[in-house]
């Protein structure tokens, strides 16, 4: 049976099933958002160098811990290796050291490769393995890796990824990747779990939400949780933060799960198979997709 409030990763580390994402949050708003989340009992915070707001996350954690009397050990902090830092062992190690300084911590609970940068992720993974061995990350994993990427990585790795964070919601299921990860005991985590908000007006989800006495967002997140996913919805509003975390007092039955699954369109919000990047040392999001779009 799935533990609905936390999950144990393959190395034994316990991770919350619901957290706060900070993608696209301006740095000057991030600190308040993170502190507010901690004050409302959030433990999982998910950021990345690419987001440009790690300093804000670090300050928000400091403020949130001061306000609640909690300690760093009460939180589960995730960040990700920037694409432009990938491919060189020493550059990855140096970049992560700087990220830890920005986050005002000497370790992260989870460190992820943000994307499978072509011909570079295996070298980057070797650096993550040593970061893990050195205690700068309590768990390591990947984002946006499909079956081909994962198979190639596992052929070269000495430590298996503990997480694969992928785009997953009722509109995009990625069944092959999900099945592969489940078979390899790689925990799945959903980014864009609410489909950029586009699912919240869906009549099927709204009908189920009305029947359950819950919000559409709670229904969508519950649908993902019941499939074993970790979810990291983003909200700057206290009431929505509280709502997004309040999904453990109801269940969806098999028919409701299937109705929501039928909304699948298998369309990515964004997806990059190959990359171009300059590796700006400022950590600015300066890579572009192969089609020339961000």
Q: Per-residue pLDDT for 272 more than 80?
A: no
Domain containing 258: what range?
Answer: 6-289
CATH number of the domain bearing residue 101:
3.20.20.100
Going by pLDDT thresholds of 50, 70 and 90, the confidence category of residue 1 is very low
% of the chain beyond a pLDDT of 70: 90
Please check whether residue 51 is in contact with residue 29, taking contact to mean a CB–CB distance below 8 angstroms. no
Q: Is 149 annotated as a binding residue?
A: no
pLDDT-based confidence at residue 277 (cuts at 50, 70, 90)? very low
Which pLDDT tens digit goes with each residue over 222-267?
999 999 999 999 988 999 999 999 999 999 999 999 999 999 999 8
Q: Does the pLDDT value for residue 279 go beyond 70?
A: no
List residues with catalytic annotation: 51
Asked if pLDDT for residue 39 goes beyond 60, the answer is yes
Quote the CA–CA distance of 127 and 70 in Å, as a whole number.
31
> What's residue 270's pLDDT?
64
Q: Is residue 1 in some structural domain?
A: no
**What is the number of residues in the chain?**
294
Predicted confidence (pLDDT) at residue 189 exceeds the cutoff of 70? yes
Q: Is residue 185 part of a domain?
A: yes
Question: Per the structure, how many domains does the chain have?
Answer: 1
Reference 209, options 193, 222, 192, 226; nearest CA is 222
Cα separation, 75 vs 31, whole angstroms: 15
Among 191, 199, 241, 196, residue whose Cα is nearest residue 219: 199
pTM of the model: 0.91
Handedness of CA 141, 147, 149, 152 (dihedral sign): positive
Residue 41 lies in a domain: yes
């Amino acid at each position: 049976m799935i533990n609905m409030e936390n999950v144990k990763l393959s190395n034994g580390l316990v991770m919350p099933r619901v957290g706060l994402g900070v993608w696209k949050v301006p740095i000057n708003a991030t600190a308040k958002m993170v502190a507010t989340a901690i004050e409302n009992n959030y433990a999982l915070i998910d950021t990345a160098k690419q987001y440009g707001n790690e300093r804000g996350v670090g300050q928000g954690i400091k403020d949130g811990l001061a306000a609640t009397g909690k300690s760093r050990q009460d939180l589960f902090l995730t960040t990700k290796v920037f694409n432009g830092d990938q491919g060189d062992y020493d550059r990855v190690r140096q970049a992560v050291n700087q990220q830890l300084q920005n986050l005002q911590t000497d370790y992260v609970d989870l460190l992820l490769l943000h994307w499978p940068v072509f011909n570079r992720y295996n070298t980057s993974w070797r650096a993550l393995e040593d970061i893990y061995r050195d205690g700068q990350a309590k768990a390591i994993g990947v984002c946006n890796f499909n079956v081909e990427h994962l198979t190639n990585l596992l052929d070269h790795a000495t430590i298996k990824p503990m997480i694969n964070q992928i785009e997953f919601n009722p509109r995009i299921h990625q069944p092959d990747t999900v099945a592969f990860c489940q078979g390899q005991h790689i925990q799945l985590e959903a980014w864009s779990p609410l489909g950029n908000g586009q699912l919240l007006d869906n009549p099927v989800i709204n009908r189920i939400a009305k029947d359950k006495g819950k919000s559409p967002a709670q229904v969508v997140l519950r649908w993902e949780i019941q499939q074993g996913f970790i979810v990291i919805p983003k909200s700057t509003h206290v009431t929505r933060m509280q709502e997004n975390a309040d999904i453990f007092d109801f269940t969806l039955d098999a028919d409701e799960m299937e109705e929501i699954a039928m909304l699948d369109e298998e369309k990515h919000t964004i997806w990059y198979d190959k990359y171009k990047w300059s590796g700006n040392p400022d950590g600015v999001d300066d890579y572009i997709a192969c089609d020339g779009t961000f």
